[in-house]
Structure 1
Amino acid sequence: MRHALILAAGLGERMRPLTTHTPKPLLEVNGKPLIVHHIEKLAAAGVRYIVVNTSHLAQQFPERLGDGSRWGVRLRYSYEGPTPLETGGGMLAALPLLGPEPFIVVSADIWSDIDYAALPHEPEGVAHLVMLPNPAFHAAGDFALAGGKLYEGDGPEGAERLTFGNVGVYRREIVAREAPGRFKLLPMYQRAIAEGALTGERFDGFWRNVGTPAQLDELRLSVAG
C-alpha cells in the first residue's frame, strides 16, 4: 500500500490576509481546496494512506477533510505545534505515521499535472526529486541534473540546472538519522548528493507555485473552466 505525505504546515505569511483565518492549503481553486487537488491525484495514483502535517489553524484540516473516506483514502494528521518544523523536521515527525516503504511527498501549495503514478516506487538512492525548468522567480535553479542524478553547482558536462518542483519520493533514511526538531531538508539533499544517492527527473508539464495572492489569482485564471 503506497503512502504519501502532504506538507501543509506553513504559516502562509506571504498569502496574508487570505491566510489570517484560513490555512493556505485550504484556499480554493475551481471550487475546492488546494490540498484536495493533491488528495484526488494521489488517490487516482493508487495511494491509499496519506499523512498531512499541520500547524497554522491546524484544526481546520480534519474539519474540512475528515478521515479521507470520501476520496477512498485514509488521512492522518501530524500536528507540529504552533511553530512549523520546516520540511526536514516535519518529515521526521511524520515518520511514525508512514509505512516502512518509500513514500511520495508533495507540498500543498503547488498545482501541477505531475503524474504521481509514474514516480518510482523504489528510488535508487534516498530520494528522487521532480525537477522543473527554472521559473522566473528562481532563475538560478537548485541542482544540476545529468543521467538521472542530481549534483550541486553546474554538475558534470552536459548537466542542466533545474528547480526542485516540491514533489518527490523519499526513503525514511533521508531524515531518520537526524535529531527531532526544526530543520530544513537542504542539508540532507546535499549529503545525499555527496554520496551519489539523490536522483531526479525533468518535468515539463503544467506547474505553478501558489505562494502569494497574485499567484493564486493567476492559477485560478489558468485553470478556470
Structure 2
Amino acid sequence: MVLAAGRGERMRPLTDICPKPLLEVHGKPLMQWPMEALAAGGFTELVVNTDWLGEQVSQRFGAQPLLGNGTPLSISYSSEGRDFGGALETAGGIVRALPLLGEVFWVAAGDVFAPDFRFTQAAVDRFVASGKLAHLWLVPNPEHNPKGDFGLAPDGLALNTAPEKFTFSTIGLYRAALFAPPYCDIPPGNPDGRKAPLAPILRAAMDRLQVSAELHTGAWTDVGTPQRLRQLNAGPAPARAAPAPAR
C-alpha cells in the first residue's frame, strides 16, 4: 500500500493545485519512487489511497501503469475523499483498504523519498517467520524530529521507551491481524470512515512485544516543506531501481 491521501498543508501553495505525492523529485512524482522500488522487488499489486485532489493521482497512473523501470503494475484505489469527504489518517486508511490487501503487506508513504530502500521477498519471508504483527524500518533522526519515535532493542524489538530513539521511516511490513482487536477496534473495511492514527496501534502492539524493527541508514527525506523539496532537486539524481529478476 502506498499512502497518498495527505493534504500537504506545509507544502502550500504547491499543494493547492497538486497533491503532495505528485510533486516531482528529479523528474518524476514523489510517490513513483516507492512504486518503482516495490515493482523492482517483485511487488506489483498495489493499493493507493487518495483524498485531496485524488483524481489527479488516479488519472496520472491509471490501473495498470508501466513505469520507468519497465515493470507493469496493477493498482487499486481507495478513494477516501470520494467515499467519506476526507482522509482517514494512516490506520483508518489501512483498515479501509484491508479488503484489497493480503494477510501480509507493505506500507510506504508516497511523500517520503528513500531511493536506497529495497523492498525484498527475503524481508517478507523473515517477517512471516518471525510471527510478529509489524516490522518497521527506522532512520537516524532528522533535524525536524530530534527526539525520534521508537527505540530499538539489541534483539530487534521496537520499543516505546528507550534511552535512544530513532525516527519511523513510514516503511513497514504488517499483518492484517494488527488492525483487529485488541489493537484496533475499527471493523474491517472501515465502513463508517473512522479516522485513526497508526502510532497508538503500534505502541499497543509494542507493549505486547509484537513489533520488530531495524535501522535503515540509506538516503531518506520526509519531504514536508518546499525547502526540502528544493534541496532534493538541487542534489544529484539517484540511480533507478533495477527490475526484479525473472522467476
The TM-score with structure 1 as length reference comes to: 0.91
Structure 1 partner of 2:119: 116
Structure 2 partner of 1:74: 74
Identical-pair percentage: 41
Q: CA deviation at 1:119?
A: 2.9
Structure 2 partner of 1:151: 159
Distance in 2, matches of 1:29 and 1:220, equals 6
Alignment of structure 1 residues 123-162 onto 2, 5 Å? 124-146=131-153, 147-154=155-162, 160-162=164-166
Partner secondary structure for residue 62 of structure 1: helix
Distance in 2, matches of 1:131 and 1:98, equals 23
- Indicate the structure with greater strand content: 1
The TM-score with structure 2 as length reference comes to: 0.84
Structure 2 partner of 1:21: 17
Distance in 1, matches of 2:97 and 2:51, equals 13
Q: CA deviation at 1:8?
A: 0.4
Specify which of 91, 112, 116 is matched with residue 88 of structure 1: 91
5+ long unaligned stretches in structure 1: none
Specify which of 168, 172, 183 is matched with residue 168 of structure 1: 172
Alignment of structure 1 residues 21-40 onto 2, 5 Å? 21-40=17-36
Specify which of 30, 43, 66 is matched with residue 39 of structure 2: 43
5+ long unaligned stretches in structure 2: 239-247
Distance in 1, matches of 2:236 and 2:47, equals 26
Which range moves more in the overlay, 112-121 or 8-17?
112-121
Distance in 2, matches of 1:189 and 1:35, equals 24
Give the aligned length. Answer: 216
Q: Which runs of 4+ in 1 moved over 2 A?
A: 118-121, 222-225
